[in-house]
Amino acid sequence: MHLARFPRARFAHLPTPLEPLPRLSEALGGGAQFWIKRDDCTGLAGGGNKTRKLEFLLGEALAQGADTLVTQGAVQSNHVRQTAAAAARYGMACEIILEERVQTNAVDYNHSGNVLLDRLMGGQLRNVPAGSDMNAELEKSAEQVRARGGKPYIIPGGGSNTVGALGYVDCAIELVAQANAQGLVIDRIVTATGSAGTHAGLVAGLALVGADIPILGIGVRAPKEAQEANVHKLAVATAEVLGHGERVTREMTVANCDYVGAGYGIADEGVFEALRLAARTDAILLDPVYTGKAMKGLIDLARKGHFKGETVVFLHTGGAQGLSGYASVLEGNLA
């Protein structure tokens, strides 16, 4: 396994800090020590987990001579914002399809937060209704780019394919090296899991370095069986690209999807509490769609004694740039 063999554009701020969360750990009863891996600080127009994936995706796009990135996501997608940023960095055009997955007419959701930033960075936005065939929409946009003489590079939703997942293989290596250097024994990693690339890359990376650190993915959309199947499949495929698919076993992929609530992008009191607690203990800014839901799960499991005696690293995957898109949802839930 040798990541340097893969084309990669270099723009992420790495390594991201690995820091303790002393006040949050105390607020959750002190039974476990929580740490945080700051992938909200990866750079690139606000950062977040998609930046690591985009280093490998851009590496491939540039190697192919592409001049336009084509991608898709929910209206307040962080992935879309980071892709628009990467396109700007390399002087490429960026064609974006936004799925109206969260049914809302709220002005802030539809125009502020990430949407505002996408437009600021020159992303060309096209909205489609919830449930649209997003792969067909990607192909349609790519065809339009070709028709005008451009060279499109399609990035799937969340940047979650084997190329993007290499970014989280790299994160796994980086995290283990940091822990080794600091003499920190990590008992568990907790992260949000959505389009699966982050979770799958971590599973593959930890398996390939033989770290034996369990990862708990907290689901934000799909039910457990579907989420685990998606993550496992991508983890194996990613490890195969690196030459060692056989090292990833099924039991390495664990997702808890009990904290999704009413659905993707819909926050509830548990999420609001997580946002408030993280902000008011260790000044960590979470988002209501991903990291807030993952933290809601972490808090509940911690209160139930699930992590007793453990050192747990929460992977902060970003998302705070979308917060203003949820101003009207958060208003009234800040007290």
From candidates 287, 301, 313, 323, binder to ligand PLP by CB under 6 A: 287
Q: Can you tell me the distance from the alpha carbon of 281 to that of 216, in angstroms, rounded to the nearest whole number?
A: 23
Q: Can you tell me the distance from the alpha carbon of 141 to that of 58, in angstroms, rounded to the nearest whole number?
A: 18
Q: Which DSSP string corresponds to 199-265?
A: HHHHHHHHHHHT----EEEEESSS-HHHHHHHHHHHHHHHHHHTT-GGG--GGG-EEE-TT-TTSTT
Hey, which residues are catalytic here? 77
Question: Counting contacts by CB under 6 A, is residue 247 touching ligand PLP?
Answer: no
Number of residues that bind ligand PLP (CB under 6 A): 20
- Our CB check for ligand PLP shows the closer of 168 and 307 to be 168
* Residue range at the interface with ligand PLP (CB under 6 A); choices 103-111, 126-134, 189-197, 276-284: 189-197
From candidates 75, 115, 192, 274, binder to ligand PLP by CB under 6 A: 192
Question: Counting contacts by CB under 6 A, is residue 318 touching ligand PLP?
Answer: yes
From candidates 197, 219, 297, 325, binder to ligand PLP by CB under 6 A: 197
In the complex, least distance from residue 320 CB atom to ligand PLP, rounded to whole angstroms: 8
Question: Counting contacts by CB under 6 A, is residue 259 touching ligand PLP?
Answer: no
Residue keyed to tokens 């999807």? 257
Question: Counting contacts by CB under 6 A, is residue 51 touching ligand PLP?
Answer: no
Q: Return the structure tokens found at 189.
A: 């990693």
Question: Counting contacts by CB under 6 A, is residue 199 touching ligand PLP?
Answer: yes
- As beta bridge partners, residue 21 has none
Taking the chain, what is the end-to-end CA distance rounded to the nearest angstrom?
A: 49
Q: Return the structure tokens found at 54.
A: 């985009």
Residues that bind ligand PLP (CB under 6 A): 48-49, 78-79, 158, 160, 192-199, 287, 290-291, 317-319
